[in-house]
Amino acid sequence: MTLKETADLLRDQEYPTSASALAAACGDVELEEAGGEDLRTVIARTGDDQFSSATEATFAVYGALPADAVGRVGYSDRDPDPMGTGGAEPVSF
């Protein structure tokens, strides 16, 4: 399951809920971005006992994924250059 599908699955649950109830409801789902790791393992790694909303559960799960699940750490080709760095030279085609 992709991260978007995981977020949709978490959104469909009743909140507030405990981590154990959330893991029981959807823990058998395998996450593609986590190398096939199941959602139960990721929920356990969050360290949270209770989730008050789907947003809280989703952010906790995203934060508990391995770094390689989200691509290159600290990289974005969409962010502007930080102030004072000058950035790349413009190229004319």
Supply the pLDDT for residue 78: 65
Candidates 45, 93, 49; CA nearest to 67 is: 45
> Bridge partners of 30?
38
Q: How confident is the model over 49-65, as a mean pLDDT?
A: 93
* pLDDT over threshold 80, residue 44: yes
More confident residue, 82 or 56: 56
Structure tokens at 30: 């395998």
pTM above 0.75, yes or no: no
Distance separating alpha carbons of residues 34 and 7, to the nearest angstrom: 14
Supply the pLDDT for residue 70: 65
| Dihedral angle computed from the Cα positions of residues 19, 22, 26 and 29, in that order, rounded to the nearest 10 degrees | -20
| Dihedral angle computed from the Cα positions of residues 7, 9, 14 and 20, in that order, rounded to the nearest 10 degrees | -90
pLDDT band at 27 (very low <50, low <70, confident <90, very high): confident
